[in-house]
Structure 1
Amino acid sequence: MKKKIVFLPLDERPCNYEFPFKLFNNQEFEIKRPNKNLMGDKKIPANLNAIEDWIKKEVTDSYGLVISIDTLLYGGIVPSRLHNFSNDEILQKMQLLRELKELNPELKLFAFHLIMRCPTYSSDDEEPDYYEHYGKEIFELGRLDHRIQLGLESDLEHANKELTRLKNTIPKDALCDYTSRRVVNLEANKLSVDLLKEGIIDFLIVPQDDSSPHGFTAVDQEKIRRYIAEQQLQLKAFMYPGADEVSMTLMMRLVNEYHNNKPLIYVRYSSTKAPTIIPSYEDRILNESVKYQVLAAGGLIVDSMKDADLALMVNAPSYNMLGSNQFDERHDGYTVERNLVEFVETIDYMIHSLQKPVAIGDVAYGNGSDLELMQLLDQKNILMKVASYAGWNTSSNTLGTCIPQGMLYLLYEDTKTHYDFLAHRYIEDTGYCAHVRKDVCDNDLEELGFNYFYVKDQKGPVSEIVRKKLEDFIAKTLPSVANNIQITDCYMPWRRMFEVGIEVEYNSN
């Protein structure tokens, strides 16, 4: 009989709702998730009462529970930035976790609970309405105040004047709304740590979404880090950049624990300085995040390729990470100071000569694959021979996708699920994120009367154009696999251009 894992996603987007299900719902584990109609829709929160009833019903005979605390409390990642719940209301909602452990004392409860982000730019796409007009100023206020407190501003008089100007620029009710919500959310984070201390939660990840070294998020992060240390819970509560990938990481940790596995991972980079770069949207050097991603999924890093179960090949520049839409602007950190040819030859040697499973974390660019890497892998005809690949969104989103899939490959190897998900990554991360998204934005949206943040329908003229251009891109750019990959569905989940929803099948014949 299959072991059941109950899963409450961070939101209804494919990366949160579909990816973990597709990877882990297999011959050994049955993943139970809420019906899609119980989940939210971007700023509309999930049906919290119905989800609570659903969880209580499902966990009674479950091996494990992977749960987003943000969905449990607020109804999703975006509602966590918009809600008006009080501390008392949050405390009451958190009692459900105790009740779940009473219903099933043997339940392994793995949770993740985000620290509320603070974007650097002005946009209300995923934030309160006033963030459209004052988002950049709110971020700058938090960043500058933090730097002043740390003594990092050399011209203190000028910094204080700028701080006063920012406070006078942002409407008081907007700033009060923003900061008061941060206080409530931070107290909720502490409640998760308390439940970990109590043994209700068995393992906790506190990820940071779009974090920066200084500002509101960094201050909250330090407060939670100290709180975790005071409770002596550092071995059970991990903090690192990320968000949309964490469900996959926790599921992999759950599966590894079930099998009593501790996969040993050898890490190698495409450039000498790559381990020390600070990726876009993150707050620390790349290598420290890699360590946490491997550890959180249940593995350990080793120094010898010979001793490793899996090789993690990390593609990154030597400095100044660009966005995937800046591929044509790449600098010598991508060319002179990175040896991509040696990187690919090593992957080929590991696969064919050493018979070593290889996971590829493609974090050379933010928000999409490295097209040059894809071309070289295609020329080598090894796209479908790797244990995993990812190259989407942030560095941590990518690492938290390719590492779990790579570890799953160690257990199940060449399954249809493996090939379908691998093909999915190439179409979405390479085809859409690195090429088609920009192509459609530049050449199609305006004529249709749409823009980046609004395409009207999940399935409409934009999704049809995207699907056609994805098919054309794969045929032209990745010919070694083009005839084996079929896109069976294409839609725009939040009716904008940032993400795409696709269904993909890979046929080896």
Structure 2
Amino acid sequence: MRTILYVPLDERPCNFDFPADLAAGTDFRLVRPELEAMGRKKSPADVERLWAWLFERAAEADGAIVSLDTLVYGGIVPSRLHLLSPEQCRERLDRLRKLKQINPKLRLYAFNLIMRCPSYSSSDEEPDYYEAWGKDIFRRGVLRHRAELGLADEKELAELKRLDTAIPDVVWQDYTERRDVNLQVNRWAVELMKERIVDFMIVPQDDSAPFGLTAVDQQRVREHIRSLSLQLQIYMYPGADEVGCTLLARMINGFMGVRPLIYPHFSSAQGPFVTPLYEDRMLYETLKCHIVAAGAMMASSVGEADLVLCVNTPGEQMIEAWEQALPNPNRGYTVLRNIVELTEIAHEVVHRWKKPCLVADVAYANGSDLELLGLLRQKGLLFRLAAYAGWNTNGNTLGTCLAQGLIYYLYGDTSGHRDFLAMRLVDDAGYCASVRQQVTQSCLPSMGHTYFSVDGERGAVADLVKRELQQFAREQIDDEGHRVVIDDCRMPWSRMFEVGLRVRVERR
């Protein structure tokens, strides 16, 4: 059994647990640091402890997948808050050389985010001043970028002039100086690839947009990659919390000597050309990036494919999952797509062509398409899928779904696969698309809590969510041969955005 060391992006289940769950039942042992070393939300991980852990275990490992944001700043959120100097960051980053000195044969995959710039005002995961100035900071960055490109009209230039004086200098300086430090770390990380310290790297973009501070930084990093002719070794595309899963699939495929072919089938003719929420390019371009990043290739037909990916997309503009419950449905979700045909294709893939069928449910942002869930259940397909995902962003869903499907291709219908599949159905459909909104609107006010603040990881809110999810599973997931059991439910960051679950499948 090969050993892979894994330093996650942070301690949330999507980063800390998902890759470990996917590795269960394979020929690969994924070894993680102790959870308490990973920090919590705005509190950074114990960086020195993590480096010591890596050095101690590197000699006996076959591969390592590491988040540079964690090893330099202490995690994804601390990367937006730190006060580290460029020199401090460089010293930490350069320790990767020691890893290769300890074990020159170590297969080292790394990922390093470009710092995001959210379009809304909230300090939940940003500096405190982002609560008041976040939207304006984002907008100023967009307008500056458009002005530099000669695209800003008179109205936009007037708005930029107003924002230049409205945002306090101390706020803008703090924010942009940190971005400059992080951009320099991105550049240094690229240079480590040139030195062959790192074997493969992903530079994912969290919450991206076509214009703005993040888009400018992305272009600078891309130019640096091109100048060093590293486009084949460093991929850049929308994503973040799924990258641990993606790199795990790539590493397993690499060690196993396979490069599977994946054929994508879409629910809408226009779907591939939609730009998903929180991303900066057409869905089809992002899909291609995710497939090759995971160690696979696109197939041109079902016949030549090893796996078939059914992609549920909107027919035009994407909306949030909670909006699917509203009256007067968007025509992009009715007449401009066909999920009945998508379901029938999935059925044929499983039963006639007998190939692994993956379902990437990216019709909505931040949750599953409950209508599609019902159709798949009617066809008896939920527990026959090689993978399912429908959470957060398009990139998050694609990466998680592809990783699970590629591991299924190698190892088949293991108990670990079934449990992870059930967890995706409960989390993405049950929680993200249904229970989260229901509890937030109907229960939290009377309990004295808010979306951003509940009573701890395992309080009354977590108990309520568990009960609601178990009921959802009974009514909308379980079938004649399978029963989903939720063993544990917690609220990792004491808020409603994400949930931590332990789920298993009992066969009847």
TM-score normalised by length of structure 2: 0.98
Residues of 2 paired with 1:127 and 1:366: CA distance?
21
Q: Which runs of structure 2 are paired with 1:315-464 in the superposition (5 Å)?
A: 315-329=312-326, 330-464=329-463
Look up the match of 1:175.
172
Look up the match of 1:250.
247
Partner residue of 1:282 out of 256, 271, 279: 279
Letter in 2 for 1:425: R
Q: Structure 1's 128 and 177: CA in aligned 2 closer, same or farther, altered over 3 A?
A: same
Cα RMSD for the two superposed structures: 1.0
Deviation at 1:66, TM superposition (A): 0.1
Residues of 1 paired with 2:6 and 2:433: CA distance?
30
Which digits, 9 at most, give the CA deviation of each residue in 1:123-179, with x for residues without a partner?
Answer: 000000000000000000001111111122232xx3332112112111111110000
Residues of 2 paired with 1:108 and 1:138: CA distance?
40
SS in 1 for 2:48: helix
Letter in 2 for 1:7: Y
Residues of 2 paired with 1:21 and 1:286: CA distance?
28
SS in 2 for 1:490: strand
SS in 2 for 1:125: coil
Q: In 1, are the aligned partners of 2:10 and 2:70 still within 8 Å (CA)?
A: yes
SS in 2 for 1:504: strand
Look up the match of 1:300.
297
Q: Which runs of structure 2 are paired with 1:31-50 in the superposition (5 Å)?
A: 31-50=30-49
Q: Which runs of structure 2 are paired with 1:178-257 in the superposition (5 Å)?
A: 178-257=175-254
SS in 2 for 1:480: coil
Which digits, 9 at most, give the CA deviation of each residue in 1:260-299, with x for residues without a partner?
Answer: 1011010110000000000000000000000000000001
Letter in 1 for 2:331: D
Which digits, 9 at most, give the CA deviation of each residue in 1:355-374, with x for residues without a partner?
Answer: 11111100000000000000
Letter in 2 for 1:6: L
Residues of 2 paired with 1:150 and 1:461: CA distance?
52
Look up the match of 2:270.
273
Look up the match of 2:127.
128
Look up the match of 2:504.
505
Look up the match of 1:28.
27
Letter in 2 for 1:278: T
Q: Structure 1's 27 and 286: CA in aligned 2 closer, same or farther, altered over 3 A?
A: closer
Look up the match of 1:490.
489
SS in 1 for 2:336: coil
Q: In 1, are the aligned partners of 2:487 and 2:503 still within 8 Å (CA)?
A: yes
Q: In 2, are the aligned partners of 1:474 and 1:482 still within 8 Å (CA)?
A: no
Off by >4 Å, runs of 4+ in structure 1 = none
Partner residue of 1:312 out of 290, 301, 309: 309
Structure 2 runs not aligned, ≥5 long? none
Q: In 1, are the aligned partners of 2:474 and 2:484 still within 8 Å (CA)?
A: no
SS in 2 for 1:487: strand
Which digits, 9 at most, give the CA deviation of each residue in 1:351-399, with x for residues without a partner?
Answer: 1011111111000000000000000001111100010000000000000
Deviation at 1:482, TM superposition (A): 9.0
Letter in 2 for 1:356: K
Letter in 1 for 2:178: R
Deviation at 1:478, TM superposition (A): 2.6
Deviation at 1:483, TM superposition (A): 5.5
Q: In 2, are the aligned partners of 1:67 and 1:110 still within 8 Å (CA)?
A: yes
Deviation at 1:235, TM superposition (A): 0.2
* Count of equivalent residues: 506
Q: Structure 1's 76 and 241: CA in aligned 2 closer, same or farther, altered over 3 A?
A: same
Structure 1 runs not aligned, ≥5 long? none
Q: In 1, are the aligned partners of 2:109 and 2:201 still within 8 Å (CA)?
A: yes
TM-score normalised by length of structure 1: 0.98
Deviation at 1:117, TM superposition (A): 0.1
Q: In 2, are the aligned partners of 1:241 and 1:289 still within 8 Å (CA)?
A: yes
SS in 2 for 1:507: strand
Which digits, 9 at most, give the CA deviation of each residue in 1:195-247, with x for residues without a partner?
Answer: 00000000000000001111000000000011100000000000000000001
Look up the match of 2:476.
477
- 1:139 matched to 2:150: no
Letter in 2 for 1:86: S
Residues of 2 paired with 1:112 and 1:311: CA distance?
27
Letter in 1 for 2:391: W
Which digits, 9 at most, give the CA deviation of each residue in 1:73-117, with x for residues without a partner?
Answer: 010000000001111111111111000000000000000000000
Which digits, 9 at most, give the CA deviation of each residue in 1:292-337, with x for residues without a partner?
Answer: 0000000100111100000011100111101011002431111101
Partner residue of 1:165 out of 162, 166, 174: 162
Q: In 1, are the aligned partners of 2:388 and 2:424 still within 8 Å (CA)?
A: yes
Deviation at 1:475, TM superposition (A): 1.7
Residues of 2 paired with 1:504 and 1:482: CA distance?
16
Look up the match of 1:99.
98
SS in 2 for 1:502: strand
Q: Structure 1's 320 and 85: CA in aligned 2 closer, same or farther, altered over 3 A?
A: same
Q: In 2, are the aligned partners of 1:475 and 1:482 still within 8 Å (CA)?
A: no
What percent identity do the matched residue pairs reach? Answer: 48
Residues of 2 paired with 1:429 and 1:481: CA distance?
22
Letter in 2 for 1:225: R
Q: In 1, are the aligned partners of 2:268 and 2:314 still within 8 Å (CA)?
A: yes
Q: In 1, are the aligned partners of 2:66 and 2:110 still within 8 Å (CA)?
A: yes
Residues of 2 paired with 1:27 and 1:407: CA distance?
12
Look up the match of 1:69.
68
Letter in 1 for 2:302: M
Residues of 1 paired with 2:166 and 2:485: CA distance?
52
Letter in 2 for 1:187: Q
Deviation at 1:456, TM superposition (A): 2.7
SS in 1 for 2:64: strand
Residues of 2 paired with 1:90 and 1:312: CA distance?
40
Letter in 1 for 2:345: T
Which digits, 9 at most, give the CA deviation of each residue in 1:442-485, with x for residues without a partner?
Answer: 01111111100000310001001100111111222234279511
Letter in 1 for 2:57: E
Q: In 1, are the aligned partners of 2:307 and 2:358 still within 8 Å (CA)?
A: yes
Look up the match of 1:153.
152
Letter in 1 for 2:435: V
Deviation at 1:119, TM superposition (A): 0.2
Q: In 2, are the aligned partners of 1:317 and 1:333 still within 8 Å (CA)?
A: yes
Residues of 1 paired with 2:493 and 2:480: CA distance?
29
Residues of 1 paired with 2:385 and 2:456: CA distance?
36
